[in-house]
Structure 1
Amino acid sequence: MTQDLATWLDHAHVDDSVFELRPDYRALLVAAEDLRPGPSDDTSEKLLAHAEEEARLRLAGTAPEELAHVAAWRAAFRAFGAKPQRTRTSVEALLRRAADGLPRVDRLTDAYNAVSVAHTAPLGGEDIDRYTGPLRLVRATGEEAFETMSAGEPAVEHPAPGEVVWRDDAGVTCRRWNWRQCVRTRLTESTTRAVFVIDALDPLTDDDVLAVGTALVDALRATSPGVRTRTRLLARGRD
């Protein structure tokens, strides 16, 4: 995939069926190039340590599902048939790990995980150059391919009919809105161009979502000096 970031973002799309499920849904896409991938380092460690402290202060004895934005996502998952006790949103899963320490994966993943936890918003990152065609959010037919790993071996799964999934022309890139990313487009230590998806529901406002985007760009600049970014907000009536 060799398109420039602006052109690639212009073709991203959220299907009307998703907005019918949650009219308040918004996705802020942050596309970045000239990233500097690599293993976790001092910079990503500081970002994660700050996020862990923010999570401890925000939770302070409160269960993650009692936070307003996490509760909204639990309701959204139930609306398409998922059970949030079994398949938690990405941000809830991270918040549940914050007290004992967030995972250290690699410097790019660490950066976006830190922003996700600090701002209580689901956030994922994927390698743009591994995409085939545009990114779009749809309700699945159940026939789409989802490349994953099972017992250490490559495997192909299929989403449930009606499940909310991100996909491209080759198949599903993320199941259950923001639950699990596929193997094909995940970030690696050779990724230099990526798209980051910030998912939002009420009570987060547009300004709140844009603030998360700003925090993400700041984190990317800290880990990748010289990074170049473009953003696009997808929302009902503005897609």
Structure 2
Amino acid sequence: MTDLEAFLASASVDQAVFALRPEYRALLIGVSGLPRSASTGGGPIDAAADEVLLRAETVARELLAENPVEQLPHVAAWRDAYRQFGAKPQRTRNSLEALLRRAESGLPRVNPLTDIYNAISVLHQVPIGGEDLSAYVGPPRLGRATGSEPFDTMANGAVAVERPEPGEVIWCDDGGVTCRRWNWRQGRRTQLAPATTNALFILDALSPMTDEALTAAGDELIDRLRGLEPELSVAVRVLGAGNVRLPS
């Protein structure tokens, strides 16, 4: 077993989350050996990221020309899940909805690594988070907050530590919250940085997204990352109520 496989094998989803949404699946993709230019940009890497972003913007505009964003099937499912744990989706939008709402004026350009996974999120209609795997303290876990967990973030331009609401669905490790409200806002400590060479990507799926569609999203993300570094090391795991592993 590789280090990446061991890390993903230690990840878990609490049964309290499956009690909320029994059909939930998390596709975890761990990668190592990314070039530093993936997080800083430059030359062909920028061009590769921009190409997939432009395609995602086109697809999003076509989708939104036919339906309001909140009526897109996977967006609607996530809005319902947010309501189930007490969040207000019109105020704290899941990451997929937030990206789609920016598509008309243009998706954000952050760095090639972030831009690529944001584009895949829009193209496949699935929330995706990307984090610096090397910054983790212990394994990733998805559960419901007690309200005491620290969340390292920025507020009004300054470093701040916040606490989730009790019962809120959170990703965390032994160091605290890594992402609040399931897939709303990622923490500062584990965010992708210029020095990132090892990363964790989390793809969150609810019904009506099928296992096949989730796998396709993960496959395209891996293909795009291997376009940045052909020798990239990759490990894949799916966490579901039955802990069923999907083919990579």
TM-score bracket, normalised by the shorter chain, equals: over 0.9
Q: Is the 8 A contact 2:39 2:114 kept in 1?
A: no
SS at match of 2:177: strand
SS at match of 1:221: helix
Q: Is the 8 A contact 1:107 1:223 kept in 2?
A: no
Q: CA deviation at 1:180?
A: 0.1
Partner of 2:83: 78
Q: CA deviation at 1:62?
A: 1.7
Mapped partners of 1:223, 1:113: distance in 2 = 16
| Sequence identity percentage | 55
Superposition pairs of residues 1-239 of structure 1, within 5 angstroms = 4-36=3-35, 37-40=38-41, 41-238=46-243
Mapped partners of 1:59, 1:128: distance in 2 = 34
Q: CA deviation at 1:184?
A: 0.1
Q: Is the 8 A contact 1:108 1:223 kept in 2?
A: no
* Matched letter for residue 39 of structure 2: G
* Matched letter for residue 119 of structure 1: H
Mapped partners of 2:243, 2:222: distance in 1 = 22
The CA deviation string for residues 107-139 of structure 1, in whole angstroms up to 9 with x for no partner, is 100010000011110000001100000000000
The CA deviation string for residues 177-198 of structure 1, in whole angstroms up to 9 with x for no partner, is 0000000000011100000000
Q: Is the 8 A contact 1:90 1:179 kept in 2?
A: yes
Q: CA deviation at 1:61?
A: 4.0
Mapped partners of 1:104, 1:225: distance in 2 = 23
SS at match of 1:83: coil
Q: Is the 8 A contact 1:44 1:223 kept in 2?
A: no
Mapped partners of 1:190, 1:45: distance in 2 = 21
Gaps of 5+ in 1: none
SS at match of 1:60: helix
SS at match of 1:184: coil
* Matched letter for residue 19 of structure 1: F
* Matched letter for residue 73 of structure 2: A
Q: Is the 8 A contact 2:117 2:128 kept in 1?
A: yes
SS at match of 2:49: helix
Q: Please say which of residues 36-45 and 92-101 is displaced more in the overlay.
A: 36-45
Q: CA deviation at 1:39?
A: 3.0
SS at match of 2:40: coil
* Matched letter for residue 29 of structure 2: V
The CA deviation string for residues 43-82 of structure 1, in whole angstroms up to 9 with x for no partner, is 1111101111111122224211110010000000000000
RMSD between aligned alpha carbons? 1.1
Gaps of 5+ in 2: none
Q: Is the 8 A contact 2:39 2:192 kept in 1?
A: no
Q: CA deviation at 1:29?
A: 0.2
